[in-house]
Amino acid sequence: MNWVSKMGFRVKAILRRDAVLRDIEQDIRQHITLEQERLRAEGLSGREARDLARNRFGNVTRLQQELQSISGVKPRAERHGGGSLIKDFKHSVRSLMKAPAYSAAVVVTLSIALGANMVMFSVAENVLLDDAGVRYPSEVVSIHNFIPQLGEGMRRQPVHGSFFDRFTRLEGIEYVAGFRTEFFNFSADDRPVRLEGLRTTPDLFRVAGVSPMIGVGFPEGLVGNEKVVVLSHKVWSSLFGADPAIVGRLVNFNGEPYEVVGVMPADFGFPRGIDVPSAFHFPDRPDLWIPHQVPLRGPSDLGVVARVVGEGGVALLQERLDALTEAVVEENSGWDGFATHRVLPIQEQAVGQIRPIIVGLFAATGLILLVAAANVSGVSFTRGYERSNQLAIRVALGASRWMVVRYLLFENAILAIGSVAGGLAVGWASAEILQSVAPEGIRGLDTLAISVKSFVFVALLGTLSAAIFGAFPSIKLSELASMGTLSTQRVSGQTTARMGDWVVGGEVAVTVVLVLVSGLLFRTVVGLLENEPGFDPVGVMVAEVTLPEASYPDAARAQSVQRARSRSETEGAVSQFYRLFLNDLREHPDVTHAGAVSPIPMGGTQEASAMWLEGMDPGASAPVIELTVASEGYFEAMGLDLLEGRTFDTSDRHDGLFTAVISESVANMWPNGAAVGSRLKLGGVPDGPREWRTVVGIVGDVRRGNLAEIGRPEVYFPLTQGGYTSLSTMHLVVRGRAGVSAEIAARATRDALRQVNASLPLEKVSGMENLIERQVSREKLAMQLLAAFSTTSLLLSVLSLYSVVSHSVNSRRREFAIRQAVGASPGSVLLGVMLRAGGSVFIGGLTGVLVVAFLSPVIGGFLYGVKPLEVGVVAVAVFTVFFVASVAAYVPAIRVTRIDPVECLRVE
Amino acid sequence: MSKTVELVPGTLPLLVLRLLSDGDAHGYAIARRIEDLSEAVLSVEQGSIYPALYRLERAGFVNSQKGVSDTGRPVKVYKITSSGRKHLEVEMSSWNAFVHAMSRVIRRRA
């Protein structure tokens, strides 16, 4: 037979294997049957015939195998081994199942690390990438009035209405829109609901580049008194049952009919509260949009957004605004210092504050994953070392190095799949937990969605880490295995130990960094919360009430100085409402004090103004103060310290003397210290149009905008003499009797409100303490996440340290036995092991502290009342890590003292 | 059963080829023929003719096709090929030479 037909035969055998196998079986069966039949015909019984036929045929199995081998096919029995890939895979599964502790350790370790990364990815995706549905977010900017004299967080003020008209004529702006918040009470099934709307100039939707999903939006040529409304998707679906025929319907807001002209898409929520520099009650996402009067009249303060034209549009617009400022100041020196405007791209604004935190946390989770991968790499190397005999046997039996690597990689692939699945589970669960424990006030977290992208992210990350932890040990091991068993022992032992030291050192470093930073954040949160706010929040309930301007015309911000200045002969509707309502409330047995204020501390920023003191040197520059409107009873309800004079009372009437209460830091502006009884006037010049007000009392400074800052000058005007700011929305402050919960106080307040006006909803009911807590939500979230991450990292270090020490004790048994045999005490051997572990822990710890020192300028920016390398915090963090590390090392290390030298050496 | 003789190793293919040269047959029929013609003297495990058949087929001396037995069972029917016939001639002459030589030696001793 030549080689061609040989080949043909082989190919045929492979291709026709099943047919050949069947033929062989058939030949044998038929033969026996024929013989049986013949024997039956000769008169044998069925059983005898069968037995004899079989006997005469011979050994069926042996013959079958012989025929199969002649035919060149592999017998069926062998075929179950299948292809070598499947065989490897099965083998890997089996060997992993034989080492459940190892498999579980790897999967759990990586799952946790991947889960942490998934959570961070989702947070980043939700918080950083949210653009409120704006079409060209990179071209959209907000414009704010920048007043450098004001405190941090207050400098960015709304734009004065008179500037807005000038903006519309500026070069470099494609579209510009001005808006302010307006609350609308709506009666949904007889239950009053307050909606947060925007009154906006018509180009807002053009700035965003988004059209309504239903309807056409505002009609052309608006003047601003049209009663039309564009609804958000949320309001449309929750209050109007997603009625597809909503356009053209009349709906009642604040008791007035508005015609619905459009519904925006679901993701549209522009402008967000965060897009507006000075958020005096800007909603997080507007519920509805109604037209603002055009052209603007009066000093209405506006949030302003604009779409700039093309590349470099932002810089160009800033130049134009600077030129405008100069021109205005030249025209009217009264504007000096108040006419500066700044442009801020909305993308920067939205994520600017939180981005560093998220980037930092991302770095932390990245490090954790790296640590986890290193850890797993170490563990799998150790395990591999323990199996090196087995691998060497494989090599000796003819396995190629690639086959060994492939076998190991299979194991890793299986573990990686398990880890990715675990990571997704951990990530999903953590996201759920995070949503429930996360402090309020972090945008994007409440709707934290685990997206497809984050799934893909985790899968990629899992594969990557499998590659990291898998490839190196596999290649190294196959190298060792191919050297042969005996030489493997020593080399591998040393390599493992060295690798273990590195892994432990690196993990300890990462852990120290994370523990240290979360400790610092903890101190920051505690430090901020420990700050006396200047009032007593305990037992205080706060809520908001909005009075519609239609039925309470004096709730609107005064459109002219004259109106505000003239003493009204009749009491305003707002003032009357609060007088009746608060009096009712104070009579409730559970309530001790009740008042109204706008804005409330920790809940929005104020209007700022220059202030002129009577008798001040006419050449001096007027100080800037922040303005608060408060009712009688507010100071008592909030628990401010009265330092001198009196607070507001019934004598501060609409037709009485114009009065003011000032904060301590304002009182200090009077050179002779005699503030009470002196007069002040808003505006930067003594002969300005505003009225003179007599100071009747001095109260302590409060922390207003945030917990870190105190002592901003604050002037209080009585609610009865309001008119500078919009009084539409006021904050109720109700102090209950001792032991009265916020819920009871809220019920009392609701009851009283219903008595006065049943159509008004009570909104944002909360304890004053919660409002304070919200101030530290950012720090708290970062702290919570970091605390979780550092615990994870600490746990990983413990695992790794334990396995490294335990491996070293096991592999050096003989050495320890000899040492003890020649006279070393068990204690000194133990000390040796501990010192070796301690060395890598120490170097790791030191590295961690150095990293924090190196990053301290960055970290310091997030801290309050604590330095990045605060001795106490560093000591606690380092001690914690070292203590835990010592335990992790000691538990396996103690085994060296139990080595019986005689026993051990005899066995060896 | 009368006295039986073990088959000389390697001679089974020769027997099979020789029988097939009389006419096509299936495996069982061949086994039966060997028993009949040798008057049951040659002891052959019936199954052992199959390795012989498979090897002959693989060497191209016989080929097989589907057929039915006398009793109507589906069987493989073997047919000697022309190269099988040539091979048979060669084998037969060497066998004859072997037997001739063997008997000359054996008779003289006896």
At A739-785, the pLDDT tens digits run 777 788 888 888 888 888 878 888 888 888 888 887 777 677 777 77
- State the Cα–Cα distance between residues A372 and A375, nearest whole angstrom: 5
Q: What is the DSSP letter of A603?
A: B
Name the closest residue on chain B to residue A29, using Cα atoms.
B75
The pLDDT value recorded for residue A279 is 43
Residue A554 phi/psi, 5° resolution?
-80, 0
pLDDT digits (tens, 9 = 90+) for A303-312: 888 888 877 7
The pLDDT value recorded for residue A488 is 43
- B46 vs A contacts (CB less than 8 Å): 31, 35, 56-58
The pLDDT value recorded for residue A261 is 92
Q: Which residues pair with A140 in a beta bridge?
A: A307
- CA-based R_g, chain B, Å: 15
- State the Cα–Cα distance between residues A85 and A82, nearest whole angstrom: 8
The pLDDT value recorded for residue A263 is 93
Q: Cβ contact (<8 Å) for B47 and A59?
A: yes
**Could you tell me which residue, A403 or A674, shows the higher pLDDT?**
A674
Our CA-based measurement puts residue A32 at a distance from the nearest CA of chain B, in whole angstroms, of: 8
The pLDDT value recorded for residue A661 is 92
Which SS3 state, helix, strand or coil, does residue A144 take? Answer: strand
Instruction: Answer for the pair A756, A602: CB distance below 8 angstroms, yes or no.
Output: no
The pLDDT value recorded for residue A486 is 43
Confidence of residue A168 (pLDDT cuts 50, 70, 90): confident
Q: Cβ contact (<8 Å) for A23 and B76?
A: yes
- State the Cα–Cα distance between residues A780 and A856, nearest whole angstrom: 19
Instruction: Answer for the pair A537, A769: CB distance below 8 angstroms, yes or no.
Output: yes
Q: What is the DSSP letter of A898?
A: G
Q: Which tokens belong to A80? A: 């179950």
Q: Is the model's pLDDT at A294 over the cut of 70?
A: no
The pLDDT value recorded for residue A733 is 92
pLDDT digits (tens, 9 = 90+) for A820-841: 888 888 888 888 888 888 888 8
- State the Cα–Cα distance between residues A374 and A777, nearest whole angstrom: 34
**Residue A239: how many other CB atoms lie within 10 Å:** 18
Confidence of residue A295 (pLDDT cuts 50, 70, 90): low
Q: Which tokens belong to A894? A: 């103690």
Q: Is the model's pLDDT at A473 over the cut of 80?
A: no
Name the closest residue on chain A to residue B43, using Cα atoms.
A56
Name the closest residue on chain A to residue B59, using Cα atoms.
A1
Instruction: Answer for the pair A622, A610: CB distance below 8 angstroms, yes or no.
Output: yes
- State the Cα–Cα distance between residues A259 and A251, nearest whole angstrom: 6
The alpha carbon of residue A701 and the mean position of all alpha carbons in its chain are separated, in whole angstroms, by: 33
Number of structural domains (chain B) is 1
What is the sign, positive or negative, of the torsion defined by CA atoms of A668, A672, A673, A679?
Answer: negative
Q: Cβ contact (<8 Å) for A30 and B54?
A: no
- State the Cα–Cα distance between residues A844 and A821, nearest whole angstrom: 34
Amino acid A573 reads: A
- Determine contact: A70 vs chain B, CB below 8 A: yes
- B27 vs A contacts (CB less than 8 Å): 27, 31
Q: Cβ contact (<8 Å) for B28 and A30?
A: yes
Percentage of chain A modeled with pLDDT above 70: 82
Question: Could you say which of A30, A58, A59 has the minimum Cβ distance to residue B75?
Answer: A30
Our CA-based measurement puts residue A83 at a distance from the nearest CA of chain B, in whole angstroms, of: 28
Question: Could you say which of A27, A35, A59 has the minimum Cβ distance to residue B50?
Answer: A27
Which SS3 state, helix, strand or coil, does residue A600 take? Answer: strand
Instruction: Answer for the pair A661, A697: CB distance below 8 angstroms, yes or no.
Output: yes
Mutate which of A16, A23, A34 to disrupt the B interface (most B C-beta within 10 Å)?
A34
- State the Cα–Cα distance between residues A824 and A118, nearest whole angstrom: 51
Q: Is the model's pLDDT at A136 over the cut of 90?
A: no
pLDDT digits (tens, 9 = 90+) for A504-519: 788 888 888 888 888 8
The pLDDT value recorded for residue A152 is 59
Write down the mean pLDDT value for chain B: 83
Q: How many contacts (CB atoms, under 8 Å) link A and B?
A: 59
Q: Is the model's pLDDT at A364 over the cut of 90?
A: no
Give the residue ranges of DSSP H helices in A60-199.
Answer: 60-71, 76-79, 84-98, 100-128, 161-168
Our CA-based measurement puts residue B106 at a distance from the nearest CA of chain A, in whole angstroms, of: 32
Our CA-based measurement puts residue A28 at a distance from the nearest CA of chain B, in whole angstroms, of: 8
SS (H, E, C) chain B: CCCCEECCCCCHHHHHHHHHHHCCEEHHHHHHHHHHHCCCCEECCHHHHHHHHHHHHHCCCEEEEEEECCCCCEEEEEEECHHHHHHHHHHHHHHHHHHHHHHHHHHHHC
A108, A411, B56, B85 from B79: Cα distances, Å: 69, 55, 11, 10
A35, A377, A907 from A807: Cα distances, Å: 68, 14, 19
Mutate which of A31, A51, A68, A73 to disrupt the B interface (most B C-beta within 10 Å)?
A31
The pLDDT value recorded for residue A606 is 66
pLDDT digits (tens, 9 = 90+) for A681-728: 887 777 777 888 889 999 998 887 777 777 788 899 888 887 677 788
Q: Is the model's pLDDT at A277 over the cut of 60?
A: no
Q: Which tokens belong to A455? A: 């799934």
What size, in residues, is chain B?
110
Q: Which residues of A802-813 are buried (b: 16+ CB within 10 A; e: fewer)?
A: bbbbbbbbebbb
- The average pLDDT across B60-71 equals 85
Confidence of residue A385 (pLDDT cuts 50, 70, 90): low
Our CA-based measurement puts residue B100 at a distance from the nearest CA of chain A, in whole angstroms, of: 31
Q: Cβ contact (<8 Å) for B28 and A34?
A: yes
Our CA-based measurement puts residue A80 at a distance from the nearest CA of chain B, in whole angstroms, of: 25
- State the Cα–Cα distance between residues A123 and A782, nearest whole angstrom: 12
Q: Which tokens belong to A682? A: 């808003």
Our CA-based measurement puts residue B93 at a distance from the nearest CA of chain A, in whole angstroms, of: 23
The alpha carbon of residue A421 and the mean position of all alpha carbons in its chain are separated, in whole angstroms, by: 22
Q: Which range, of A12-16, A407-411, A620-624, A690-694, averages the lowest pLDDT?
A: A12-16
**Could you tell me which residue, A201 or A147, shows the higher pLDDT?**
A201
Q: Cβ contact (<8 Å) for A28 and B50?
A: yes
The pLDDT value recorded for residue A281 is 54
The pLDDT value recorded for residue A563 is 47
- State the Cα–Cα distance between residues A459 and A720, nearest whole angstrom: 63
- Determine contact: A33 vs chain B, CB below 8 A: yes
Name the closest residue on chain A to residue B69, using Cα atoms.
A34
- B73 vs A contacts (CB less than 8 Å): 30, 33-34
- Determine contact: A69 vs chain B, CB below 8 A: no
Pairing of strands A156-157, A288-291: unpaired
- A2 vs B contacts (CB less than 8 Å): none
Mutate which of A20, A21, A23, A30 to disrupt the B interface (most B C-beta within 10 Å)?
A30
Instruction: Answer for the pair A507, A793: CB distance below 8 angstroms, yes or no.
Output: yes
What size, in residues, is chain A?
908
The pLDDT value recorded for residue A666 is 87
Q: What is the CATH number of the domain that holds B59?
A: 1.10.10.10
Name the closest residue on chain B to residue A1, using Cα atoms.
B59
Mutate which of A4, A27, A62 to disrupt the B interface (most B C-beta within 10 Å)?
A27
The pLDDT value recorded for residue B1 is 44
Q: Which residues pair with A304 in a beta bridge?
A: A143, A178
Write down the mean pLDDT value for chain A: 79
The pLDDT value recorded for residue A229 is 92
Q: How far apart are the first and last CA of chain B?
A: 28
Question: Could you say which of A38, A59, A63 has the minimum Cβ distance to residue B50?
Answer: A63
- The average pLDDT across B43-65 equals 86
- A57 vs B contacts (CB less than 8 Å): 45-47
- Predicted-complex ipTM score: 0.90
Please choose, from the candidates A861, A864, A707, A862, the residue with its C-alpha nearest in 3D space to the C-alpha of residue A774: A707
- The average pLDDT across A252-265 equals 88
Give the CA dihedral A389, A392, A393, A399, nearest 10 degrees. Answer: 150
Our CA-based measurement puts residue A29 at a distance from the nearest CA of chain B, in whole angstroms, of: 10
- State the Cα–Cα distance between residues A753 and A746, nearest whole angstrom: 10
Q: Which tokens belong to A276? A: 């507006």
A310, A393, A398 from A486: Cα distances, Å: 71, 11, 17
Pairing of strands A341-345, A607-613: unpaired
The pLDDT value recorded for residue A79 is 42
Name the closest residue on chain B to residue A41, using Cα atoms.
B71
Q: How many CA atoms, within 13 angstroms, populate the side-chain half-sphere of residue A13?
A: 17
**Residue A571: how many other CB atoms lie within 10 Å:** 15
Q: Is the peptide bond before A826 cis (omega within 30 degrees of 0)?
A: no
Q: Cβ contact (<8 Å) for A31 and B28?
A: yes
Q: Is the peptide bond before A271 cis (omega within 30 degrees of 0)?
A: yes
Name the closest residue on chain A to residue B60, using Cα atoms.
A1
Residue A473 phi/psi, 5° resolution?
-60, -35
- Determine contact: A66 vs chain B, CB below 8 A: yes
The pLDDT value recorded for residue A438 is 65
Confidence of residue A315 (pLDDT cuts 50, 70, 90): confident
Q: Cβ contact (<8 Å) for B50 and A60?
A: no
The pLDDT value recorded for residue A304 is 87
SS (H, E, C) A692-740: CEEEEEEECCCCCCCCCCCCCCEEEEEHHHCCCCCCCEEEEEEEECCCC
Instruction: Answer for the pair B5, B42: CB distance below 8 angstroms, yes or no.
Output: yes
Q: Which residues pair with B92 in a beta bridge?
A: none
**Could you tell me which residue, A500 or B52, shows the higher pLDDT?**
B52
pLDDT digits (tens, 9 = 90+) for A318-328: 888 888 888 88
Residue A489 phi/psi, 5° resolution?
-45, -60
- State the Cα–Cα distance between residues A174 and A310, nearest whole angstrom: 9
Q: Chain B: which residues have CB within 8 Å of chain A? A: 27-28, 31-32, 45-48, 50-51, 54-55, 58-60, 69, 71, 73-76
- CA-based R_g, chain A, Å: 40
- Determine contact: A56 vs chain B, CB below 8 A: yes
Give the residue ranges of DSSP H helices in A536-632.
Answer: 561-565, 573-587
- The average pLDDT across A230-251 equals 89
Q: Cβ contact (<8 Å) for A70 and B51?
A: yes
The pLDDT value recorded for residue A78 is 43
Question: Could you say which of B32, B58, B73 has the minimum Cβ distance to residue A30?
Answer: B73
Question: Could you say which of A34, A63, A71 has the minimum Cβ distance to residue B69?
Answer: A34
Range of the domain at B103: 5-109
- B74 vs A contacts (CB less than 8 Å): 26, 30
**Could you tell me which residue, A425 or A383, shows the higher pLDDT?**
A425
